Amino acid sequence: MRGASTGGDGRRRLPAHLRRRFQAGGRAREVEDLLEKLDLHTVCHSAHCPNRSECFGSGTATFLILGDACTRQCRFCAIPAATAPSSVDWQEPERIAAAVRALGLRYAVITSVTRDDLPLGGADLFAACIRRLREENPAPHVEVLTPDFGGNRQALEMVLNACPDVFSHNVETAPDLYPDVRPEANYARSLGVLRWAAGHSPPPLTKSGLMVGLGETETQVLGVMDDLRNAGCEVLTIGQYLAPSPAHHPVVEYIGPERFDWYRREALRRGFRHVASGPFVRSSYRAHAALSATGSTQDAQQP
């Protein structure tokens, strides 16, 4: 099941299946203008997402709260690090609600930078965003993609008690790669976050994401799948890692489409209710599909 391999900094010799042109069209300009007007950050911009033109063109975006700088320095991520990020902006929930209303979104995804400098890691702002969106008419479905909050269960409960439809937290890679890729994170802690969310009442749909091409083995990927299922995770995304710059962790391997298909089949065989696996798959890419595919809702389609 091996795919095309390469070394280097992740920015050269892209295989054909990873060559993609930026296409600004549809509602992209409208989305860009609205985000600027409302002073909102998106992970689409901050993380250099390759799907940004498609998502913006279809009139959607993934909102990034708690500023645009992170207190951790993961070696895969394009978001800049800062020891003293900006103060919490308590008007963000209102501005996100305004953006959701203006774009006509029926499915909103909210994520954040990691804020280890805050007592609750920003969980209170996540909860405020969910509650504000619940007040919209018609209320959109809400997915949150959270950091681990340092394993603080009070913070997790604060988010879960606001009742997001989907609770997502990414393990990102195999545990053996954490020292190089996510030195300030903890694999067992991330599994604990998902296990806690899966045991909440009422339970949200639980979700996690993996990057491949960082040097992991197929056996390690399958092991992560097993760990996630044992933690109660129901939805999985798997995508190709692309290094944001030569200073980031290098791309060790470009994974071929056939292996992504194989990973998808293996994940479904292990009992995941929905799996998105492909080179350009990202955590929030076409995120509404999970609710529709699992039958959790009949009204999770974007306009």
Mean pLDDT of the region 282-289: 84
| Residue 35 structure tokens | 């985000």
Evaluate whether residue 123 is within a structural domain: yes
Instruction: Answer with the residue of higher pLDDT: 45 or 114.
Output: 114
Classify residue 299: in a domain, yes or no.
no
Report the CATH number that the domain containing residue 195 is assigned in CATH: 3.20.20.70
Share of the chain above pLDDT 70, in %: 90
Residue 220 lies in a domain: yes
**Using an 8 Å Cβ cutoff, are 289 and 278 in contact?**
no
Going by pLDDT thresholds of 50, 70 and 90, the confidence category of residue 6 is very low
CA distance 62 to 144: 10
In a domain, residue 301? The reply is no
Q: Which has the higher per-residue pLDDT, 184 or 44?
A: 184
Q: Residue 10: which pLDDT band, with cuts at 50, 70 and 90? A: very low
- Amino acid letter at 127? A
Across residues 123-150, what is the average pLDDT?
A: 94
The DSSP annotation for 43-79 comes to HHHHTT-TTHHHHHHTT--EEEES-S-BSS--TT--S
Residue 272 within a domain: yes
**Cβ partners under 8 Å of residue 142, min gap 6:** 107, 108, 109, 110, 129, 130, 133, 134, 164, 165, 166
* Residue from 213, 208, 211 nearest 230 by CA: 208
Q: Is residue 4 part of a domain?
A: no
User: Considering the domain boundaries, does residue 2 fall inside one?
Assistant: no
Confidence of residue 257 (pLDDT cuts 50, 70, 90): very high
Query: Which residues have a Cβ under 8 Å from the Cβ of 119 and sit 6 or more positions away?
Result: none
pLDDT at 57 over 90: no
10 found inside a domain: no
pLDDT for the residue numbered 80: 87
pLDDT at residue number 51:
66
The predicted pLDDT at position 8 comes to 41
Distance CA 223, CA 209 (A): 14
Domain that holds residue 224: 16-294
Residue entry with tokens 């990102």: 172
Q: Is 50 exceeded by the pLDDT of residue 194?
A: yes
Q: Please name every residue paired with 167 in a beta bridge, in sequence order, or none if there are none.
A: 144, 206
Considering its fold, how many domains does the chain have in total?
A: 1
